[in-house]
C-alpha cells in the first residue's frame, strides 16, 4: 500500500505530486507536474503525450520507466496518472528541451563528475561525507563514531561474504534479524517508528541506539569469525544471537536508568505528513 504525499517547493515553488512506496523506499512523481514545472506549457498533458511518442521513436528507455498510479487531482477526485520513480524523473528531465531544465542537467552532470573524481581520490568522498554531517549539525565526535561504525559494518559484511552471502536481499535479511532481536523492529519498521523514509536509519539514532546497534553487529561479527557459518540459514542464526546479546544490554540499560533505549526522535529538520491512503 502506498501513502499519498505532496512535495512542495521542489521545482521553484511548483507543487509536484508524489507517492511514497514504503516497500521500495522510493518516491513516484507525477510526470505531468514535472513537465509543467519545467516547460510552463499551457497543456502539459499534451506536451507529455507528444514527448512520450518522440522518445519511443528514438528508442529511449525513459518511457519504459513510466507507470500509472492513482493520485489526487486538483478537483479533489482520484485519477490514474503517469508516474516515474526518482531515477526515471532524472532521466526525463535530461530529455526535456527547456531552459528551466538546464540547472537540473548541470546539477546531475556535477554529481557525475564528483563520483568520477572520487574513484581516483577516495578521500574526496570521505571529506564530502564529513562536511555533509557538519552541515546537518552533527559534532565531530559523533561523526568519528559514525565513520568507525561504518568501517565495523564493512568488516561484518566481509565476514558474511566469506560465509557465502552474496545477494543484497540476503544482507538485508541478516541486518533485519539483528535489528529485530535487539530492538523488536525490522529496519523498515524502525524507520516508520522514527517517521523517516529514504534517510539513513543510523543517522537518525540517538547515541544509545547507535551504541546498541554497533554492539549487536560487533557481537555478530565475532561469533561468525569463531564459528564460520556458511549460507543464509546458519548466518541468520548467528545474527539473531548477536542481536540477542545487545537486547540483554538494552534491558540492563533501561532497568538501571529508567529510560527507554529506543526513541522516536530523529535528526530531520522537517516532518513527513501522511495523507489518506489509496488502494488499487
Burial status of residue 242 (CB atoms within 10 A of its CB: 0-12, 13-18, 19 or more): buried
Give the residue from 135, 141, 133 showing the smallest Cα distance to 203.
133
Residue 120 has pLDDT above 50, yes or no: yes
What does the H/E/C string look like for 126-165? HHHHHHHHHHCCCCHHHHHHHHHHHHHHHHHHHHHHHCCC
DSSP H helical segments within 21-101, as ranges?
31-39, 44-57, 86-95
Burial status of residue 233 (CB atoms within 10 A of its CB: 0-12, 13-18, 19 or more): exposed
Q: What is the mean pLDDT of residues 254-259?
A: 97
Residue 250, pLDDT score: 97
pTM, full prediction: 0.70
| Range with lowest mean pLDDT among 93-107, 170-184, 217-231 | 93-107
Other beta carbons within 10 Å of 67: 14
pLDDT band for position 96 (cuts 50, 70, 90): confident
In angstroms, what CA-CA distances link 188 with 199, 254, 265? Answer: 11, 24, 16
Give the residue from 171, 169, 204 showing the smallest Cα distance to 190.
204
Residue 2 has pLDDT above 90, yes or no: no
Contacts 24+ apart (CB under 8 A), 149-154: 149/202, 149/210, 149/213, 149/214, 152/214, 152/217, 152/218, 152/221, 153/217
Residue 13, pLDDT score: 61
Report the distance separating Cα 56 and Cα 112, nearest Å.
Answer: 26
Q: What is the mean pLDDT of residues 187-206?
A: 92
Residue 254 has pLDDT above 50, yes or no: yes
Report the distance separating Cα 180 and Cα 242, nearest Å.
Answer: 11
Residue 274, pLDDT score: 57
Q: Does residue 181 or residue 135 have the better pLDDT?
A: 181
Amino acid at each position: 500500500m502506498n501513502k499519498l504525499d505532496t512535495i512542495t517547493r521542489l521545482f521553484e515553488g511548483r507543487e509536484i505530486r508524489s507517492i511514497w512506496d514504503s516497500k521500495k523506499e522510493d518516491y513516484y512523481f507525477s510526470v505531468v507536474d514535472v513537465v509543467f514545472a519545467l516547460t510552463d506549457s499551457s497543456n502539459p498533458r499534451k506536451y507529455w503525450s507528444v514527448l512520450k511518442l518522440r522518445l519511443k521513436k528514438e528508442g529511449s528507455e525513459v518511457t519504459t520507466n513510466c507507470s500509472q498510479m492513482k493520485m489526487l487531482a486538483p478537483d479533489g477526485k482520484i485519477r490514474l496518472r503517469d508516474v516515474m520513480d526518482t531515477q526515471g524523473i532524472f532521466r526525463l528531465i535530461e530529455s526535456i528541451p527547456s531552459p528551466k531544465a538546464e540547472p537540473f542537467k548541470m546539477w546531475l552532470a556535477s554529481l557525475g563528475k564528483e563520483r568520477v573524481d572520487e574513484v581516483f581520490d577516495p578521500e574526496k568522498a570521505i571529506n564530502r561525507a564529513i562536511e555533509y554531517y557538519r552541515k546537518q549539525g552533527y559534532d565531530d565526535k559523533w561523526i568519528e563514531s559514525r565513520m568507525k561504525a561504518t568501517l565495523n559494518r564493512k568488516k561484518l559484511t566481509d565476514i558474511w561474504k566469506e560465509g557465502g552471502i552474496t545477494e543484497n536481499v540476503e544482507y538485508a535479511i541478516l541486518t533485519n534479524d539483528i535489528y529485530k532481536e535487539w530492538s523488536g523492529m525490522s529496519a523498515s519498521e524502525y524507520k516508520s517508528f522514527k517517521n523517516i523514509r529514504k534517510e539513513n536509519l543510523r543517522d537518525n539514532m540517538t547515541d544509545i541506539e547507535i551504541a546498541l546497534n554497533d554492539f549487536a553487529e560487533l557481537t555478530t561479527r565475532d561469533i561468525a569469525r569463531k564459528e564460520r557459518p556458511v549460507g543464509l540459514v546458519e548466518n541468520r542464526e548467528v545474527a539473531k544471537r548477536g542481536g540477542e546479546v545487545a537486547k540483554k544490554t538494552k534491558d540492563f540499560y533501561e532497568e538501571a536508568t529508567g529510560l527507554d533505549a529506543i526513541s522516536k526522535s530523529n535528526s530531520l529538520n522537517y516532518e513527513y505528513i501522511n495523507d489518506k491512503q489509496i488502494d488499487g
